Amino acid sequence: MADLRVLVGVSEIAELLGVSKQRASVLCARKGFPDPIEHIAPIDAITVEIMRGLFSEDRTISFDEAVEALQSHSYRLGGGKKLWRHAAVAEWAEREGRTLRIDDE
């Protein structure tokens, strides 16, 4: 199973699918292709400590509060840069009957 933390751009998607960047860009824009991510949350000591506090047994928070906390410490990607979760691309490829090219490295 693909690692959820790995992010890929159009160039990497082209390589995974064995197509040109132009073709990958067209595929990424098609209905049914996974949506690109909008936020990247840093996984650093501060974020881990915040999440421990939010989900401790002493305190109950709502889903919306958890999302707000993550977004307040995340980076919003600009309009020109699009990234997708590798796992989502792999799931899409499987549904579409496409084989991903995997490097032997």
Could you tell me if residue 5 is inside a domain?
yes
pLDDT tens for residues 20-57? 999 999 999 999 999 998 878 766 777 777 777 776 65
Which CA distances in Å does 15 have to 20, 31, 48, 98? 8, 21, 33, 13
What residue type is assigned to position 50 of the chain?
Answer: I
Which CA distances in Å does 102 have to 11, 17, 46, 98? 14, 9, 35, 13
CB atoms within 10 A of CB 22: 10
**In which domain, by residue range, is 92 found?**
1-38+81-98
pLDDT tens for residues 78-103? 767 889 989 899 999 999 999 898 75
Could you tell me if residue 25 is inside a domain?
yes
**Confidence label for 72 from pLDDT (cuts 50, 70 and 90):** confident
* 33 and 44 inside one domain: no
Could you tell me if residue 104 is inside a domain?
no
Q: Nearest-5° angle of CA 41, CA 60, CA 50?
A: 30
What is the pLDDT, as a whole number, of residue 105? 42
